[in-house]
Structure 1
Amino acid sequence: MTKRLLVLRHAQAEPLIDGSDHERPLTPEGRDQARTAGAILASDGVLPDRVVCSTALRARQTLELVARAVPHSPAVDYERDLYGADVSAALELITRTDPDVETLLVVGHNPTLAQLVAAFMPDEPLDSFPTAGLAAIDLEVEWLYAAPGTGTVRMLT
């Protein structure tokens, strides 16, 4: 049985002027980007059973807007470790997914998510993974064994 990993970079956020990078909110354009990503998931029928989301405000706001566009509310795990994760740490979070989950959505940050998607595309360069970039990776293995080379990527945005 194929598992599907959805990878979503947070939508455009306000620049850091002062305060914490962790608490940067989405811009109005970012809100539109997030709604568009949700509409793409809903129209393609690519709906997550579970979500792993960074605790950063811009990631949480992206998820909130995406979730409004889909017909059901998946369970969400907010992971502070995803905020500063490298590819290896992100893959570790993915491999801990319950085996009953068919489709997992990961909402986080670049450069990690771009590098994660690129790792599953060894024969194609990933030119960019913009804000609200969305990719679907169809895995040929269970979550426990998810790693580069075990799935194929389809860019959704």
Structure 2
Amino acid sequence: MKTLTLLRHAKSSWNDPVAADFDRPLNKRGRRAARTIGREMKNRELRFDRVIASPAVRVIETLDDVTEGYGSPLHPQYDRRIYLASPAALLDLIHEIDDETERLLLVGHNPGLEQLALLLADGGELRDEVAVKYPTATVAEIRIPVQHWRQVRKGMGNIVRFIRPRDLDPTLGPDEDTH
């Protein structure tokens, strides 16, 4: 059994004068949401053998704040392929993961993460929630009954957790931002 956890970056600032989307930082609410999600990940005893993340500024800052809330380092490995990746590109990356890794955390962007969760999930109530909206700083945990990451295919998984910041602190939602 493999466990894939997807974390969408926290809410970023559209008001910051950066030249490129890649360089957009988090806003204050995003930073607070990331710390809140980190604490919840610790409370639920989520563990990861490997963390792979987009190197975009908003993802790096999200992981910094998640780590603060989580209370221990996550040791992310940054991979440019995750930046605004399609679900097919993310699945290609998953297929490359070594089989010693049982619990993988991918940190990135929408719409790729949401579409990947919908692609992998075989149905269920939490899949329906993902289909409605995958807000910023949200975690989806998917269990996939395979021995090898290269075996992961459409419809094989089961979403067992879908943790939104607004469910933990109502002042962190609703998230109207689609970025």
TM-score, shorter chain, exceeding 0.5? yes
Residue 151 of structure 1: aligned partner: 157
2:138 maps to 133
1:21 equivalent to 2:21? Answer yes
| Aligned mates of 1:35, 1:148 — CA distance in 2 | 32
Give the secondary-structure state (helix, strand or coil) at the position aligned to 1:39.
helix
Secondary structure of 2:7's counterpart equals strand
Query: Higher relative contact order by CA 8 Å / sep ≥ 6: 1 or 2?
Result: 1
**2-structure distance, mates of 1:145, 1:156:** 26
CA contact 1:54–1:107 (8 Å) conserved in 2: yes
Question: Which is worse superposed, 27-36 or 143-152?
Answer: 143-152
CA-CA distance at 1:72 after TM superposition = 4.0
Tell me the secondary structure at the aligned position of residue 11 of structure 2: coil
In structure 2, what is the equivalent of residue 10 of structure 1? Answer: 9
- Answer yes or no: is 1:90 the counterpart of 2:86: no
Alignment of 1:30 with 2:30, yes or no, is yes
Q: Which runs of 4+ in 1 moved over 6 A?
A: none
Task: State whether structure 2 residue 75 is matched by structure 1 residue 70.
Answer: no
1:22-79 CA-partner distances (Å, limit 9, x unpaired): 0000001000111111111111111111111001000111112112233543442201
Structure 1 vs Structure 2 CA RMSD: 1.6
* Alpha-carbon offset, residue 18 of structure 1: 4.5
Written as runs of structure 1 = structure 2, the 5 A alignment for 1:118-129 is 118-123=118-123, 124-125=127-128, 126-129=131-134
Question: Which residue does 1:107 correspond to in 2?
Answer: 107
| Unpaired segments ≥5 residues, structure 2 | 165-179
The residue number in structure 1 matching 2:176 is none
The alignment's TM-score, normalised by the length of structure 1, stands at 0.91
Q: Any stretches of 5+ residues in structure 1 without a counterpart? A: none
Distance 1:118 1:20, change over 3 A: same
After the TM superposition, which residues 42-53 of structure 1 pair with which residues of structure 2 at under 5 Å, given as runs?
A: 42-53=42-53
Q: Which residue of 1 aligns with 2:41?
A: 41
| Superposition TM-score, scaled by structure 2 size | 0.81
Q: Is the helix fraction higher in 1 or 2?
A: 2
Q: Are the equivalent residues in 1 in contact too, given 2:122–2:157 (CA < 8 A)?
A: no
CA distance in 1, matches of 2:61, 2:19: 18
